[in-house]
A and B are shown apart, each in its own frame.
Chain A
Amino acid sequence: MKARENPFSMDRVERFRYRPLDRTWEQIMQTLAELEYRAAIVGPEGSGKSTMLEDLRERLRAIGLHVRCGAVNVNRRRMAKEHWQAMLAELSPRDVILFDGADHLPWWDWMRLRWHARRAGGAGGLIIAVHREGMLPTLLKTRTSVQLLAEMVTELLGRHEPMVEEVFEKHRGNLREAIREMYDWMAER
């Protein structure tokens, strides 16, 4: 199958938004306000942390906050100097930094990020996506389920696919990897 026809192509997968399993978005935003917008989204690889950060960006803007973004990952633990400068320049009390992969930051960079966000004060804050708890108060823990994967696959494929359960187990709930395997499976057809 050609890449452009593959139902599991990234452009199609990226249309899925984060689906909280046991709380509503209203409850999440309420908790976030109570935490003064200084919080962590915690979860394993492929559980929706980055997607949730993206979704939060729009919701924070909708309530009048200004959003700045940064990201690192296990392969790229440092951000370019210019990006740091742009992200931290003249932070106001209405700025919120969304930082994906903060647990990969070198210690000094993490301290700097926290310090700048705290200094901004007011309603502004820092929301991070990480694999482990303890860096900031936990807003929520992202998790996946075989039902969630099944829903996504059914929507993308237009029918139920029995191999979903096996793929979910194989990738230990990592939806990103599970979907990539489904892509390869379709590509060979």
Chain B
Amino acid sequence: MGMLNVQLAEGKTVFRAAEEIVGSVAWELEEAAEVVEVRLAWCTRGKGGVDEEVVEQLRIATPGAKGQASFKFVAPRSPVSFSGKIISVLWSVTAVTMPKGQQVQMPITISPTGKEIDLYGPR
């Protein structure tokens, strides 16, 4: 399978709106990839169907079999990371190789409070 890794600067995984999400992606693959993509995306989890949206992405063309690159995204205002009983919104930075589709996902939190909004947590 080879190695594919996402690292966020200073190990930071919680962001407020407009804050920069900075990190790097590194890969050492068995075969050269045609493209490596790094995506900032959210998705839903819960009782209903899955919704998801890639809000920003970095496309690395001709990445070869081994390399690394830096990325910088800006955390959007919404949707914020939250969880209730029916639905959760989860954010992540994901790196994907193409055409093989190998991927690695780094969960992150985007929230004005600095942590996931818990709709049923202590108030």
Contact = CB atoms under 8 A, between A and B. Distances in A.
Q: Does B bind A?
A: yes
Interface of A: 1-4, 6, 9-11, 14, 180, 183-184, 187-188
A71 to B, nearest CB: 13
B4 to A, nearest CB: 22
Interface of B: 45-50, 83-88, 90, 118, 120
A187 B45 contact: no
A14 B45 CA distance: 12
A4 B120 CA distance: 13
The A interface, classified by DSSP as helix, strand, loop or mixed, is helix
B96 to A, nearest CB: 18
Contact of B45 (A9, A180, A184): A9
Contacts of A180: 47
A120 to B, nearest CB: 30
A9 B83 contact: no
B87 A3 contact: yes
Nearest to A8: B47
A4 B85 contact: no
Nearest to A187: B85
A2 B50 contact: no
A113 to B, nearest CB: 25
Nearest to A13: B47
Contact of B49 (A6, A10, A183): A10
A6 B87 CA distance: 10
Most chain B Cβ neighbours within 10 Å, of A3, A6, A9: A3
